[in-house]
């Protein structure tokens, strides 16, 4: 996000902080104020026991294959020769200069 965007967003956020919220007490339906509190129940009865993951052999092999592929890609990228990239950039710059010279000769 750029600074210019922040300059516009800050007043908008500040104005939304000034919003008046409706009184929630006046929105109650009849009898809510006199209703008894609900009974609290233990969570063990509501939330089930966690189950063990059930990955099949095929899924495990697929994931391990992806891990191997990503690891080899990371190894290739970490061995990349930066000097070679500089040489390519230099060669590209020279080719562009030569192309410009040839364009000037044709004029």
Average pLDDT rounded to a whole number, residues 61-68: 94
Q: Which two tokens stand for residue 94?
A: 């020279």
Return the percentage of the chain with pLDDT > 90, whole number. 22
pLDDT in tens, 15-25: 777 777 667 66
Instruction: Write down the mean pLDDT value for the chain.
Output: 82
In this prediction, residue 83 carries a pLDDT of 67
Q: pTM for the complete prediction?
A: 0.32
pLDDT in tens, 9-55: 777 777 777 777 667 666 777 887 788 988 888 887 778 777 887 88
């Amino acid at each position: 996000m750029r600074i210019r965007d922040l300059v516009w967003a800050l007043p908008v956020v500040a104005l939304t902080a000034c919003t008046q919220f409706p009184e929630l007490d006046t929105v109650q339906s009849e009898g809510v104020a006199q209703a008894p509190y609900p009974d609290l129940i233990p969570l063990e009865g509501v939330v089930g026991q966690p189950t063990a993951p059930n990955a099949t052999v095929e899924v495990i092999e697929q994931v391990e294959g992806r891990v191997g592929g990503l690891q080899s890609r990371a190894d290739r990228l970490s061995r990349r020769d930066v000097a070679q990239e500089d040489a390519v950039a230099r060669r590209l710059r020279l080719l562009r200069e030569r192309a410009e010279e040839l364009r000037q000769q044709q004029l």
